Amino acid sequence: MAAAVKADIVERQFLVTGALTRELYDEACLFKDEIDTYTLDKWMKGTSALFVAKLSHVDIVGEVEATDK
């Protein structure tokens, strides 16, 4: 799981592209920000529309860890 999340961040740049590994999330999950709450599909579509992916970049600091929790 940690490797998939790290790949979403590093390789797929999901925070600026909206491209995440759907298998990690329940299709009924919700994403919430300070404005609204979004379904998985709406979050992915909305996030991809917010940024110019080729001009945006996200880096992580430290390792991604997964636990039983």
In this predicted model, what pLDDT tens digit does every residue of 6-21 receive, in sequence order?
999 999 999 999 999 9
Share of the chain above pLDDT 70, in %: 100
**How would residue 41 be classed by pLDDT, with cut points 50, 70 and 90?**
very high
| Burial zone of 20 (CB within 10 Å; 0-12 exposed, 13-18 middle, 19+ buried) | buried
Query: Which residues lie across from 38 on neighbouring strands?
Result: 31
pTM listed for this prediction: 0.81
Q: In a 3-state reduction of DSSP, which class is residue 37?
A: strand
Closest CA to 4 of 26, 30, 22, 31: 22
Give the pLDDT confidence score for residue 69 in this predicted structure: 84
